[in-house]
Amino acid sequence: MMVEYFFGLLATFVVLLLAYAIRILREYERGVVFILGRFQSVKGPGLVIIIPFIQTMEKVDLRTIVMDVPSQDVISRDNVSVKVNAVVYFRVMDPQKAIINVEHYYEAVSQLAQTTLRSVLGKHELDEMLAERDKLNQDIQGILDQSSDNWGIKVSNVEIKHVDIDESMIRAIARQAEAERSRRAKVIHAEGESQAAAKLTDAAEELSKNPNAMTLRYLQTLIDIAGEKNSTIVFPLPVDMIGSIMDQFKSKNS
């Protein structure tokens, strides 16, 4: 009875050792193997044998990780308080550095992304945050990629998802946008008046070259008015005649 019990314990121990020693890594996984606490090699994918009590292994996922950066309170350069969140895409390029050089690479990248997001956006005004997202994304991605290079991490992309503005600030921005549209409308109207005046000046110079041209213009105007089927009666009177009458009137009064 004792012999059977002993062999049963021995068989259980062997099964446990085999379960610990035999590791199967998927195509996207790598194993960082340590022997007596010292780094030995990076193994995988496939079947990996680990010597019990002598070797240990840490698995690392090589797939691209999508990390959501929590909403951050940011004060822009023009003193506007906004809440900004983003998403970071990164992957482990060097499993050895990701395990040895940093304790938890996911948490490290998350904290680095949050501080970098606040630091970069705090140097820009609100209008730049809203209009130049692509440039800000590239700036943040470059800083994260450079800072995490020693961890064996490659940051491939950063996207700012939302820029939430306070309700009072939204109303102020709406008033600013309305004033800007009004200013542009006035400028466009003034430019139209200037161009129209220039064209009229050119037309007057062209008509002054031939006295009969003004008479033809009068006749064309009468045709246009008659075509509208109204009872308006127009008597064209040359401007020069009016000018001579006014001069005679002034001379009599003097």
How confident is the model over 138-191, as pLDDT tens digits?
999 999 999 999 999 999 999 998 888 877 666 767 787 788 888 888 889 888
Please give the average per-residue pLDDT across 66-93, as a whole number: 91
Tell me, what's the pLDDT at 249? 64
Assess whether the previous peptide bond of 70 is cis (omega < 30° from 0). no
* Per-residue model confidence as pLDDT tens digits over 235-254: 666 656 666 666 666 666 66
Please give the average per-residue pLDDT across 97-104, as a whole number: 94
Tell me, what's the pLDDT at 247? 66
Selected residue with higher pLDDT from 83 and 224: 83
pTM score of the predicted model: 0.66
Tell me, what's the pLDDT at 227? 64
Please give the average per-residue pLDDT across 229-235, as a whole number: 62
Q: Specify the DSSP element, H or E, that contains 161.
A: strand 153-165
Gyration radius (Cα) of the chain, Å: 41
Q: Specify the DSSP element, H or E, that contains 191.
A: helix 167-208
Q: Helix count (H) and strand count (E) of the chain?
A: 8, 8
Tell me, what's the pLDDT at 204? 73
Mean pLDDT of the chain: 83
- Check pLDDT > 90 for residue 125: no
Tell me, what's the pLDDT at 203? 76
Please give the average per-residue pLDDT across 201-213, as a whole number: 73
Selected residue with higher pLDDT from 252 and 82: 82
Tell me, what's the pLDDT at 170? 67
d(CA 82, CA 79): 10
